[in-house]
Amino acid sequence: MRRMSITPWRGVALLMAAAGPWAAAPRAQEPENPFTSRIDVRMGGRSYQSRCATCHGINATGNPEAGGPDLTTGQFRRAEGDAGLFRVIREGVDGTAMIGLGENASEQTVWQLVTFLRTLAPAGGGIDPGASPAAGQALFAGKGGCARCHRVDGDGGRLGPDLSFVGDRRTPEALETDLVDPDAEVLPRWWTITATGPGGETVEGLRMSEDTFTFRIMDADENLRAFSKYGDWSYERTETSTMPGYAETLTAQERTDLAAYLYSLRRDP
């Protein structure tokens, strides 16, 4: 049994609230793309073939040899919104082969490239046409029990990551995988530690911090406890997720609905 079951601790809330990397920051007014006609798509496609295809592939699905990532997923790690794409294309990504077109490229050329890249995203944002985001939302708060650990727009628990904008960083397919195999990639922030004292007593909880000499965990009674690694207590780190897998407890349709709902949670749908 790799997975451990853990009761929710309300107090985790206070500590984690401050740490949420997705705390919403209001976005400044961004310029809108003025070049979005069909001709712009065509011109953008042409610039793409002459200036980008060597590194990102003729079909823009990426070129592993040149290190250029797939640009057809509709998701960009480096850019948010059209204005973000504009910046990446013009300024590049510091310290990488992605140099950017520079100031000499006209705004029109850069916007047309943005327009072209937008046409490459999967239709409907990649959501399965048979999926119902509304049904997914109901599952999330109800039978699925997801809200116990996850927040969306300020509602829900804090034993797992805030999912308010999870659609910005996960595709629908990746979201479905998260539900079936939560242990696939677990950030250290969500590891747990079980500490065992000299009398066999145990304390288990989220691993809040760890260094060479000490570790701190948030136990089931919401207490933050610090331990020395060289004291009487032994400890065991669990790098798997506290999130249960839903391969059996939810149907495939329910998982697809949940993924569609979560994918709809984007800043820029």
Nearest approach, Cβ of residue 163 and ligand HEC (Å) = 6
Question: Position 47: which residue type?
Answer: S
Task: Tell me the H-state helices in 77-151.
Answer: 81-91, 107-119, 133-141
Q: State which residue, 179 or 195, has the beta carbon closest to ligand HEC.
A: 179
Closest CA to 23 of 126, 161, 143: 161
Nearest approach, Cβ of residue 93 and ligand HEC (Å) = 4
Residues binding ligand HEC (CB under 6 A): 51-52, 54-56, 66-69, 71, 76-79, 85, 88-89, 93, 96-98, 101, 113, 140, 144-146, 148-150, 159-161, 166, 170, 175, 178-179, 182, 186, 190, 241-243, 246, 258, 262
Structure tokens at 30: 């961004």
Q: State which residue, 76 or 233, has the beta carbon closest to ligand HEC.
A: 76
Cβ partners under 8 Å of residue 97, min gap 6: 55, 66, 67, 68
3-state secondary structure 70-93: CCCCCCCCCCCHHHHHHHHHHHCC
**Cβ-contact 114, 121 below 8 angstroms:** no
Structure tokens at 160: 């797992």
Q: State which residue, 41 or 233, has the beta carbon closest to ligand HEC.
A: 41
Nearest approach, Cβ of residue 116 and ligand HEC (Å) = 8
Nearest approach, Cβ of residue 198 and ligand HEC (Å) = 30
The secondary structure of residue 237, as a DSSP letter, is: E
Q: State which residue, 189 or 229, has the beta carbon closest to ligand HEC.
A: 189
Q: State which residue, 203 or 265, has the beta carbon closest to ligand HEC.
A: 265
Stated as kind and residue range, the H or E segment containing 173 is: helix 172-180
Nearest approach, Cβ of residue 179 and ligand HEC (Å) = 6
Q: State which residue, 232 or 252, has the beta carbon closest to ligand HEC.
A: 252
Question: Position 29: which residue type?
Answer: Q
Nearest approach, Cβ of residue 209 and ligand HEC (Å) = 17
Rounded Cα distance, 29 and 89, in Å? 20
